[in-house]
Amino acid sequence: MRMRTIEISVGGFVLAGALALVFLALQVSGVSRNQAEDSYIIKARFNDVAGLRVRSKVSMAGVTIGRVRAIDVDMQWGDATVTMDILGEPGNLTADTGAKILTEGILGARYISLLPGSDEETLGPGDEITETQGALILENLIGEFLTNLGDS
């Protein structure tokens, strides 16, 4: 009889652990929402990506439509190549789409904002965005401001 109570308790214990794991996976890390949907890769060159990270958001009109997959530096040109995963089928972005690196709030994370263009052609997998504007660096801005102040 005692062995049976022990077995039931242990069974309940293991079950509670499994339920806790399911809860953590579904409710806390939100697996069901982040399921890998169809996505394709596009690239963009920026003169400066300071603060942008792998898995940063890629958004259009404030809605997340993808994630940054990789950030590489091109030593020859001295700029950065950002590879992004864009959700959906290829063909949902026009060829003259622009990309900007912006900041969420004042202290928030850096993200890429895509600006829709008006071209009839669309970006295919692996294509590169040419219209880009890199991250604004506060120190550079202040530096320029001070130089201008000195000139005037």
Interface contacts to another protein, rule CB under 8 A: 3, 6-7, 9-10, 12-14, 16-17, 20-21, 23-25, 27-31, 33-34
For another protein, which is the closer residue by CB, 1 or 149?
A: 1
Question: Quick check: 74 and 45 in contact, CB under 8 A?
Answer: yes
Alpha helices in the chain (DSSP H): 2-23, 138-151
CA quadruple 136, 138, 143, 149: dihedral positive or negative?
Answer: positive
* Closest CB 7 distance from another protein, rounded Å: 6
For another protein, which is the closer residue by CB, 33 or 78?
A: 33
Give the SS3 label for residue 60: strand
* Closest CB 61 distance from another protein, rounded Å: 18
* Closest CB 36 distance from another protein, rounded Å: 12
Which of the 8 DSSP states describes residue 74?
E
Residue for token pair 């300071």: 50
* Closest CB 99 distance from another protein, rounded Å: 22
For another protein, which is the closer residue by CB, 17 or 126?
A: 17
For another protein, which is the closer residue by CB, 67 or 134?
A: 67
- Least Cα distance to 109 among 69, 65, 50 occurs for 50
As given in the structure block, the two tokens for residue 41 are 């890769």
